[in-house]
Structure 1
Amino acid sequence: MRPLRTEPLTAEAFAPFGDVLDATGDFRLINAGLCQRHHDRATLDFGDARAGISIFQAQPRALPYSFDLIERHPDGSQAFIPMTQNPFLVIVAPDPQAEPRAFLTNGAQGINLHRGTWHGVLTPLHSPGIFVVVDRIGPTPNLEEHRYTEPWTVLAP
């Protein structure tokens, strides 16, 4: 077992891998001043394909959490937006040979993974694990997987 500690998900720490989707920072008021619009929070990238919106329902996991699989989507970005206010685990790595990082969302954050970012599978920590996923819909495969020879175990902070 190779231990990996979680860290809080912040825009600065996550920037090499993608965008944090949350309602912080600058905004403008819309809808007669009753709604804050936090504008253009992610760089969506689908290459020569189109954007699709899917609903994922993933089984919840618990910490400590053991994993040996990461994946990436070389032809498009992928956004995960929870439909509940529960934290979820986000595992990312610069490449399969580098040590991964484990981020813990605060329950009011989603993420957008940049095109080609190595990441773990969708890992909700509470039920129901329902997410809106915005990603590439195209005619060619958009998935590469890597299995570690020795699993990592994500530990609570």
Structure 2
Amino acid sequence: MTRPDIVTEALTAEAFAPFGEVLHIDGAPDKLINKGRCGRHHDLARLDFGDGHAGISLFNSELAEMPYRLELLERHPLGSQAFIPMSQSRFLVTVAEDDNGVPGTIRAFIARAGQGVNLHRNVWHGVLCPLDGTGIYAVVDRIGGGNNLDEYHLDAPVTVRSE
């Protein structure tokens, strides 16, 4: 199947809701802690690990360039996966809803500095694509037995362009 080029969208909570949550500070904190020196923005993502447990890993990815050539999507059927940049950097997020076991329409977002994402269980997504910064990310995902990775190689690559 031939797919058209994709133009990135702004990463907003509303636009990204079918795929997961946007992790960022928006508005006043839920409460102040540490004698008022720290604002806690509480419980921002739905972590879902089935029969496994939450693990925190560090990823160190090569920087990507735009336009980006998208060739592979993957999903994690047994748990959610959160990507949190460890530098003030942007990254490309490509996602697709499931269409009978394969990726459906692909959408692309640019996470701006200060944003991360939590991908819900079974959401098709591209590989980590930092656009600047260090390429180092904290990743919170499921650790446990079973196959938690499905890969889908696109018949023809898709070009993702900036908006």
Shorter-chain TM range is over 0.9
- Structure 2: which 5+ residue stretches go unaligned? none
**Could you report, residue by residue, the CA deviation over 1:25-74 in whole angstroms, capped at 9, with x for unpaired residues?**
35211111111111000000000111111000000011000011100000
The Cα RMSD (Å) is 1.2
**Could you report, residue by residue, the CA deviation over 1:94-146 in whole angstroms, capped at 9, with x for unpaired residues?**
02342200000111100000011000000000141000000000011200011
Q: What is aligned with 2:151?
A: 145
State the SS of the aligned residue for 1:94: strand
Matched, 1:31 2:34: yes
Q: What is aligned with 1:128?
A: 134
Matched, 1:47 2:50: yes
Matched, 1:70 2:73: yes
Moved over 3 A (4+): none
Deviation of the 1:2 alpha carbon: 2.9
Q: What is aligned with 1:18?
A: 20
Normalised by the size of structure 1, how large is the TM-score? 0.96
Normalised by the size of structure 2, how large is the TM-score? 0.93
Number of equivalenced pairs: 157
Q: What is aligned with 2:92?
A: 89
Deviation of the 1:83 alpha carbon: 0.1
Q: What is aligned with 1:61?
A: 64
- Structure 1: which 5+ residue stretches go unaligned? none
Contact 2:90 2:133 in 1 (8 A): no
Provide the rounded CA distance (Å) in 2 between the counterparts of 1:78 and 1:109. Answer: 15
User: Judging changes above 3 Å, is the alpha-carbon distance between structure 1 residues 13 and 142 closer, same or farther for their aligned structure 2 residues?
Assistant: same
